[in-house]
Structure 1
Amino acid sequence: MIEHCKPMVRTLAPNSINIEKSEVARYLGYGKDGNPSAQISSLIDSQISEAYRLIEPSYFCVMKEVENVEAFRISLRGSNSVFSSNIIARRIFSKCSKAAIFLTTIGPRLEERVSQLMDGGEILKGAILDAVGNEAVEKVACWLEASIKETAAASGADVSLRYSPGYCDWDIKEQKVLFSALDGDLHGVELTEDCLMMPRKSISGIIGIGFDSSITLSPCLFCNKTDCPSRRL
């Protein structure tokens, strides 16, 4: 089983992140049956190449024991942080013994370049590079999630999907609670008064770990928002 440990901090090589062109197109609004024009396709390729020169992928992760789950509240051992979410607490963390609390980012340089493009009137390039940034930081989070899953599997444990404030019924304002639970240098990522992260291309969240395969279920199964673009089934 993954042990409670000091925070894990790592910077990844940009080329260790697989930025998928099809996912960038999805962020731009192209559905499964929609294909970008030749011009847009070429711009996506060029902006993916540009992104690899700009991104600085890194993560910060700390493992904590789940001390108590009562009603909609999740308490962690050795922390004053208490997360509040009925769906996540009842459906997932009531069956978890540990929690991985994490933060991933690709740094500020890509966003700075997007702003330069927009200010210079290159709106299309800027929008495409911004979409590439979304895909890049998502892949950093996927990389960390896969690493946690591999480590847990070595001891026969299961892991949940990752959850971020704003998912399910977890209030976005609980970013403050999550940041306080991270206990360390957050790679320059800060929260605004509205609990948005800066740089924007950052993802924070929590992953449950335990010996019950039901924790791998998606809570989207119990949600009535069937048209949600982030639905995971």
Structure 2
Amino acid sequence: MEECKEAIAVDEIRIIKNIKPSYNKNLIYSRLGYSKIRTELSPDLAGDIERVIEKAENSLEITVAYRIMKIEGVDSPNVRLADDTVLSGRGLSGLLENCSEALIMAATGGHNIMALIDRLQKEDKMSEAVIVDAAASVITDAALDFTMDMVNQQLRSKGRLLTKMRFSPGYGDFDISLQKDFYRLLKGESLGLTLNDAYMLIPEKSVFAVAGISG
């Protein structure tokens, strides 16, 4: 079940804290190398995995942030936003070529989940750490699905649509260095995020993405 507190406006940025997004648990098992069709887990192992996934759920403190920005122009591979930010990627420019606006978004699982993974590793509970890591990745990514679904419902009432796909820096030719632009556009520091010299987000279970709006 999806739960959230009321969205808070920070300038043109919307922030929603403490959400519990719906997610596909099979994706966690896939990350762990298990196939729903080909793998038969013993009841004991399945129960152990479920308990660790629940532990991950309870440790996540998911926050999402998003803003809608006008697209000034698309000239592949470049997409120019209203503030003159240029996002470059052929896949991205193809996605946004018929869009008038871009949905810029972020999701973070918070610091507690990384502290849990670190503690499990130090206690030599590596199997549990791997399960928590996989669950945190899947659930944090599902928070972007939550954000897109919420925004799409608002857009549909106005006869507009959000693209089904989204792109994140580091995907395809959408360079990881563009994390710095997302960080600036969404005021990443206000979300408790930092960006290191390799353009990696801290805490690790954090992700930026962009989708397009048409109509």
Q: After superposition, give the CA deviation of every residue in 1:118-137 in whole Å (9 maximum; x if it has no partner).
A: 11111111111111111210
Cα distance change, pair 183–114 in 1 and its aligned pair in 2 (3 A): closer
Aligned amino acid, residue 9 of structure 1: I
Three-state SS of the structure 2 residue aligned to 1:114 is helix
Number of paired residues? 203
Aligned mates of 1:104, 1:61 — CA distance in 2: 9
Aligned mates of 2:188, 2:205 — CA distance in 1: 19
Matched, 1:40 2:45: yes
Q: 1:159–1:209: 8 Å Cα contact kept in structure 2?
A: yes
Matched, 1:194 2:198: yes
What stretches of structure 1 of length at least 5 have no aligned partner? Answer: 212-233
User: Map of 1:27-66 to 2, 5 A cutoff?
Assistant: 27-35=31-39, 37-38=41-42, 39-66=44-71
Cα distance change, pair 28–187 in 1 and its aligned pair in 2 (3 A): same
Aligned mates of 1:128, 1:68 — CA distance in 2: 43
Task: Name the TM-score, length of structure 2 as normaliser.
Answer: 0.87
User: Map of 1:79-228 to 2, 5 A cutoff?
Assistant: 79-89=83-93, 91-160=94-163, 161-183=165-187, 185-211=189-215
What stretches of structure 2 of length at least 5 have no aligned partner? Answer: 1-10
Task: Name 1:8's counterpart in structure 2.
Answer: 14
Aligned mates of 1:128, 1:112 — CA distance in 2: 14
- Identity rate, percent: 22
Q: 2:161–2:213: 8 Å Cα contact kept in structure 1?
A: yes
Q: 2:96–2:211: 8 Å Cα contact kept in structure 1?
A: no
Aligned mates of 2:190, 2:71 — CA distance in 1: 22
Three-state SS of the structure 1 residue aligned to 2:65 is strand
What's the RMSD between the two structures over aligned residues?
A: 1.7
Task: Name the TM-score, length of structure 1 as normaliser.
Answer: 0.81
